[in-house]
Amino acid sequence: YRDNIRTRLRRPRPDAHAHVPVQLITPTGDAFLSPSLHDELETWVPRLVRRTLPAKHWVPRTRPDQLSAWISEFVEAGEAGKQDDLPDSDASDSPAPAAKGAHADRFGGLLVLVTGAASGIGRATALSFAQAGARVVAVDRDAEGVARTAETARLVGAPAAWAEVVDVGDEQAMEKLAEKVAADCGVVDVLVNNAGIGLSGSFLETTSKEWRDVLDVNLWGVIHGCR
């Protein structure tokens, strides 16, 4: 730092342009290097790919999965001569443009799994993350409903969104889901255990099966999801 930064700040070179593709990964929670330090960087680096990550200073230690994925994508694009086509702030393999919606800086590129995503709060949550540029996995036992959610998510900002038909109360099914998601996309960054069912009516008229169903989804579903 002493040998380079101070000297260059005092006497900046007017011709210090980078003529090769450059990828800039900026952690939004860095207490030492704020994102504003990189404003107008395109003046010096015309072939710049910007990416933001909700992390602190030591990104290689806290988010090695995302960092390695972006580096691999950048290198592979360079070898194919397509680095200038890379989208900013988008971790998916799709050529869709970077998300510009609210909270894109915080959630863009993160892997988000939402249970109970076929309708209601779960569907709205999945679509909100999609609009923020997250990679969305929509989970529900309603096959048609969750497929519609994933389709809409792809249209509003998550081109790689997909649906999984799983009963959250089924321990083995949830374990298989976790293995599949980890193998295909890596570790989930945000988990929303939204799936839930209600039970109404007179308490004495309810059945043991109805209560087992409620506990399987509302209690065990959360436990299986977290595990």
CATH architecture designation of domain 104-226: 3-Layer(aba) Sandwich (3.40)
For all residues of the chain together, what is the average pLDDT? 84
Report the alpha-carbon distance of residue 9 to residue 19 in Å, rounded.
21
pLDDT score of 98: 47
- What's the rounded mean pLDDT across residues 198-212? 91
Q: How far is CA 23 from CA 42, 73, 84, in A?
A: 11, 10, 10
Residue carrying structure tokens 């999945």? 126
- For 20-54, the pLDDT digits (tens) are 888 888 888 888 877 777 777 778 888 888 887 77
Report the alpha-carbon distance of residue 210 to residue 227 in Å, rounded.
25
Q: CB under 8 Å to 184, separation ≥6 — which residues?
A: none
Residue carrying structure tokens 């048609």? 144
- What's the rounded mean pLDDT across residues 84-113? 61
pTM of the predicted model over 0.85:
no
Name the band, by pLDDT with cuts 50, 70 and 90, for residue 130.
very high
Instruction: Domain ranges for the chain, please list them.
Output: 5-85, 104-226
Report the alpha-carbon distance of residue 203 to residue 180 in Å, rounded.
40
pLDDT score of 83: 55
Task: Work out the angle between the directed axes of helices 143-156 and 120-131 (0-180°, nearest 10).
Answer: 20
pLDDT score of 55: 79
pLDDT score of 97: 42
C-beta pairs of 95-103 under 8 Å, 24+ apart in sequence = 96/157, 96/159, 98/133, 99/131, 99/132, 99/133, 99/157, 101/131, 101/132, 101/133, 101/157, 102/131, 102/132, 103/132
Q: CB under 8 Å to 192, separation ≥6 — which residues?
A: 112, 113, 114, 115, 122, 125
- What percent of the chain clears pLDDT 70, i.e. is strictly above it? 89
Does the pLDDT of residue 9 top 80, yes or no? no
- What's the rounded mean pLDDT across residues 164-183? 94
Report the alpha-carbon distance of residue 112 to residue 91 in Å, rounded.
12
Strand, coil or helix: 194: coil
Report the alpha-carbon distance of residue 190 to residue 130 in Å, rounded.
12
Q: Read out DSSP for 59-124?
A: HHHH-HHHHHHHHHHHHHHHHTT-GGGPPTT--SSS-PPPP-STTHHHHTT-EEEEESTTSHHHHH
Report the alpha-carbon distance of residue 38 to residue 47 in Å, rounded.
14
Asked whether 56 and 27 are in contact (CB, 8 A), the reply is yes
- For 146-169, the pLDDT digits (tens) are 999 999 999 988 888 999 999 999
